[in-house]
Structure 1
């Protein structure tokens, strides 16, 4: 009788004192590759980490590695985000630090990271080149880890995983932060790996999966249930709750000119990241910012939200004032509501849900002062709107990733800002949560708010977007109107 490759029996696991997996039984046969989907918070990541031996659990998990195979007899888990460290082993960077070249020298380059990983795992560097090429990552060899965007960090972890080719590869949210071309190429690489004997478990709800994924499962009531396909309709529809009154009011604009860039250039040493950027954003406009991973989107946004130190060396106007005319970074941030994957990395995970949302009034990463009654009421209204009432006193890091994103999205809009910057805001959200948030964005922007929205997929965007700017290798490739304003 053949033994299953993965055999799980009576698995029980709690996440921050909440039972998520209960008496779970599952067999994964030799040669199978799975996609595990379902609603956010059901325990998908917890199960993946348990199989990889990264979290404590009760019960039995057995992996029957093939001793005849040339592939490493190990389970490799690629998390949805990767927290890198500097040369001294420290991971607690602050948000603006990634744009400061002096600080960047404290982290390894991509090439040095790969050399170190190759030595640790006994791999040859020449074998990683085709993977780097396929994922469009060859040009990042000299980049410091701290300079990479979330999508670029994701690519680096995928590169290392596909280079290693373990017998069991588990990838949590494999497509997070990747552009369309990178997603397609990743699926080709995953099919190639499966053809060489790698068995895959992909934790995601994405419809466009590699051909080798022929088995599907969802966690329902703490147990893993095999399904014919991953259906987004299984998500619970968010109740229709009217937007809070304080967010129905149009923002009070300090200037009709929100952003103006004239021949803006940004370089790190000899590497030019932005080249002769000319771009204007007027009050009330809704922009879509697009471009492949590494095209310069994150750097462009860092100029807009006041984080990039090289903004002083360029002709850049924010809210009617030239950058460097005496305003502080906090003066700029008073006008802006921001959410991005990078900001999520650096946010204080020990703040409660209520404190996290309230901190948006003061542009801090935690709440350090008492809120007046009116603002406290607004926090409560927004918590109700987002369906977070039961979680309001929980710690941010005790929530599943999807709900953490909703908390930070609520924080972003709490002060009804003049400019809303949403940099891939729906990473980590399931399809229903994505629709719910984008409906909120549409409601907000109908009252005159200015929007810059970064997203790779037109099917996951708000309908209010009017204009589009496309970056390619640091240059403006396209500026166009896609929806005539009324």
Structure 2
């Protein structure tokens, strides 16, 4: 009788005084491919990193893998980390929009060639994966220019190309549009047919056909379940009263919050946005959609003041022409922003309290003393978001769902007239997404204007009443509320 692929006994992992996995046991038989779910912070990632021998642990993990095939175990983390040409990861948030800074990183083609050389892979074998994930148009793009979804594709191309014996992917669908998710599932099925064993850490139910076993991490243990419908996720939200300072209608000096006229953005020969004309009126709630790389994040960067090309374009914000004398901080004071990139680059030493308070000053980290009234508002907001008990903990140590809620609290603490939420629920499960969007709906009852990037109709705030769809940098579908009444 052949040995199981993986046999785990009495696995324990602790971070300081916190026990994450306790006496976990698991036998992973050959021929099965697993989806492992559970609440954010339950220990799924910890289990995966222990399997990949990336963290210290107690207990026994026996891997019965072939000694003549490498790599044996490949763990693919949720977020993609890249470096510049000198191996440095010390990037700042706005750097991706400064093209002279972008020359400091490789192109996608250069990164794949470098990976091929390092891993002794044939570069030609990567091309079918690049095509399958719809990544061909980004081959000449600098790494720092890529959106979060495009970074995810590059990460996945490398992982699938490596063809490991055991492939573990943490939140495989983060940042991917609907078509890319289907293509990824097809690629995983193909890899499984070639002999790779697969573990996906996800609460998603649209899985590759090869996935035939399911389990969840709960109370430090791994429990097998019949299907992903049985995964236990976050508890439904208990509604709380919105703090009084957020019930006041935010100040707005113009009925037109945003007016873009014939906007073009280019990087050298590459056109990112083409002939964009768009008006957002006070109180509008827009969803912005489009495939990965369609220009969504660039469009938002022109609005929130992070893109240097904004000063040469016909852009009016809050009734004022860009470049007519206002500073970038004047603009940011009226905008509350969340994006995957901001989350990536946020100060890893910030506590939850410092994170939320920094929203008053639009800083990545807290460098200014808050007033008594500001501190009072922070505490009120922490209670509203059920974050008060963890206010002294580092943001980076919280489950992803609570990190996003802390960043949403940071976004609204100054009660801005415009909320810009760029894929705010990326990586969250359905219950966490519903919780987040319910809060957004409550916030939007009091005069706020909303721009919300999201791929799935069923995972949008109910208050959305307009839609903008981008395709290859062009507007293809501006729509109003009656178009949005049927959600899928």
TM-score range, shorter chain: over 0.9
1:141 aligns to 2:134 (yes or no): no
CA distance in 2, matches of 1:397, 1:117: 29
Deviation track 1:7-50 (CA, whole Å, cap 9, x = no partner) reads 11111112354111011111111121111101111111111111
Counterparts in 2 of 1:113 and 1:235: CA distance versus 1, 3 Å: same
1:317 paired to 2:319: no
Distance 2:202 2:46 in 1: 13
1:6 is matched with 6
Paired residue secondary structure (1:446) = helix
- Alignment partners' CA distance in 2, 1:85 and 1:15: 27
The answer (yes or no) to whether the contact 1:109–1:142 under 8 Å persists in 2 is yes
Match of 1:446 in 2: 445
Query: What is the aligned partner in structure 1 of residue 298 from structure 2?
Result: 299
Is the contact between residue 16 and residue 398 of structure 1 (CA under 8 Å) also seen in structure 2?
Answer: no
Question: Is the Cα contact below 8 Å between 1:11 and 1:60 reproduced in 2?
Answer: yes
Structure 2 gaps of 5+ residues are none
Partner residue, 1:261: 260
Per-residue Cα deviation, 1:71-107 (whole angstroms, up to 9, x for no partner)? 5342111111012111111111111111001100000
> Quick check: 1:180 aligned with 2:182?
no
CA gap 1:123/1:323 in 2 versus in 1, 3 angstroms: same
CA shift, 1:351, in A, is: 0.8
Deviation at 1:433, TM superposition (A): 1.6
Structure 2 counterpart of 1:52: 52
User: Which deviates further from its counterpart, 288-297 or 236-245?
Assistant: 236-245
CA distance in 1, matches of 2:413, 2:226: 41
Partner of 2:29: 29
Per the alignment, residue 106 of structure 1 pairs with 104
Q: CA deviation at 1:453?
A: 0.2
Equivalents in 2 of 1:235, 1:369: separation in Å? Answer: 35
- Give the whole-Å Cα distance in 2 for the aligned partners of 1:232 and 1:56: 27
Partner of 1:65: 65
1:212 CA displacement: 0.6
Deviations 1:414-463 (A, max 9, x none): 11111000011111322222111111111111211000000000111001
How many residues matched?
483
Note the 1:376-391 alignment, pairs <5 A. Answer: 376-391=375-390
Deviation at 1:299, TM superposition (A): 0.4
Report SS of the residue matched to 1:111.
helix
C-alpha deviations, 1:350-378, integer Å up to 9, x for none? 11101100110110111122222221121
Change (3 A) 1:219 1:484: closer
SS at match of 2:84: coil
Give the 5 Å matches for 1:24-423: 24-67=24-67, 72-230=70-228, 231=230, 234-423=233-422
For 1:127, what is the secondary structure of its paired residue? helix
Equivalents in 1 of 2:461, 2:430: separation in Å?
A: 13
Measure how far apart 1:236 and its partner are.
1.6
Shift of 1:344: 0.4
In 2, Cα distance between equivalents of 1:378 and 1:353: 14
Question: How many angstroms apart in 2 are the aligned matches of 1:73 and 1:366?
Answer: 39
1:66 Cα shift?
2.9
Q: Is the 8 A contact 1:15 1:46 kept in 2?
A: no
SS at match of 1:93: coil
Alignment match, 2:426: 427
Q: Which residue matches 1:480?
A: 479
Q: CA deviation at 1:67?
A: 4.7
CA contact (8 A) 1:405 1:428 kept: no
Unpaired segments ≥5 residues, structure 1: none
Distance in structure 1 (CA, Å) of the matches to 2:108 and 2:76:
17
Moved more, 252-261 or 109-118: 252-261
Distance 1:376 1:304 in 2: 29
Question: Comparing 55-64 with 279-288, which one deviates more in the overlay?
Answer: 55-64
- Give the match's secondary structure for 1:131: helix
Give the Å deviation of 1:484: 9.0
**Counterpart contact for 1:217–1:227, Cα < 8 Å:** yes
What secondary structure does 2:188 align onto?
helix
Q: Is the 8 A contact 2:241 2:384 kept in 1?
A: yes
Partners of 2:322 and 2:56 in 1: CA distance = 51
Distance 2:474 2:81 in 1: 29
2:52–2:75 contact (8 Å) kept in structure 1 = yes
What secondary structure does 1:56 align onto?
coil
C-alpha contact 1:15 1:398 (8 A) present in aligned 2 = no
Residue 402 of structure 1, CA deviation: 2.2
TM-score, with length taken from structure 1: 0.97
Kindly indicate whether the alpha-carbon contact (under 8 Å) linking 2:94 and 2:306 is maintained by their aligned counterparts in 1. yes
Q: Within 2, Cα distance between the matches of 1:437 and 1:232?
A: 19
Contact persistence 1:86–1:108 (CA under 8 A): yes
CA RMSD of aligned residues (A): 1.4
Displacement of 1:239 in angstroms is 2.0
Contact 2:185 2:208 in 1 (8 A): yes
Give distance in 1, aligned partners of 2:58 and 2:285. Answer: 50
